[in-house]
Amino acid sequence: EAGVAQSPRYKIIEKRQSVAFWCNPISGHATLYWYQQILGQGPKLLIQFQNNGVVDDSQLPKDRFSAERLKGVDSTLKIQPAKLEDSAVYLCASSPQGSFEAFFGQGTRLTVV
Amino acid sequence: TQLLEQSPQFLSIQEGENLTVYCNSSSVFSSLQWYRQEPGEGPVLLVTVVTGGEVKKLKRLTFQFGDARKDSSLHITAAQPGDTGLYLCADSSGNTPLVFGKGTRLSVIA
């Protein structure tokens, strides 16, 4: 079974630029999460989707971050414009319906300079 | 959203030593998960505990859930360099999405 795929693995951008991350969850997984992990800390939830609907986006900085999950499969997370403090690893995870076991991708390491 | 406190924050030990790391909360967990995250990778689930007093073993790892379901511990026997990583506990209670602690960063030196 293929795991959660994320791209790119690494991204370096200047502040005020835009960036987008892509996630392909495990086939059939209804729930998709985006987490932000700042160096030295645990992952912090940004947004949770159930199929193509948003379940929780209370910690998503909506003035600069946006996410969508078209057709309930792939998802993209966008930052526009980026700030220095957005430097982090962005992790995508998915779970089967009714399960709280999260399967994580390798993440995208973003550096904002 | 309950806060999860993990301790110690960092731990560096020699190969063959035993260790215990802790996860505590101010409120009751319905269920709790432990994950391990290796450098450059995403977290991987190790175990889920749901019953107060529950003990689960995974090879050299022993997970214990407190009777009051407000704390949990992970004990590693005879640590090996392959155990190096960030150990995260997560609240997997019911209707809320996973909430993670800050983790314990373990380094096992050969």
- Tell me which residue in A41, A45, A104 faces B42 most closely, judged by beta carbons: A104
pLDDT in tens, B52-86: 899 999 999 999 999 998 999 999 999 999 999 99
Predicted confidence at residue B31, as pLDDT, reads 87
Residue B1: pLDDT band (50, 70, 90) is low
Q: Which two tokens stand for residue B60?
A: 């050299």
Q: Residue A32 above 60 pLDDT?
A: yes
Q: Residue B18 above 70 pLDDT?
A: yes
Q: Residue B2 above 80 pLDDT?
A: no
Under DSSP, the state recorded for A16 is T
Residue B45: pLDDT band (50, 70, 90) is very high
Residue B95: pLDDT band (50, 70, 90) is low
B88 vs A contacts (CB less than 8 Å): 42-43
What is the distance between the alpha carbons of residues A57 and A71, in angstroms, rounded to a whole number?
18
Whether residue A106 and residue B42 make contact (CB cut-off 8 A), yes or no, is yes
In chain A, % of residues over pLDDT 90: 83
Please provide the average confidence, as pLDDT, over all residues in chain A: 94
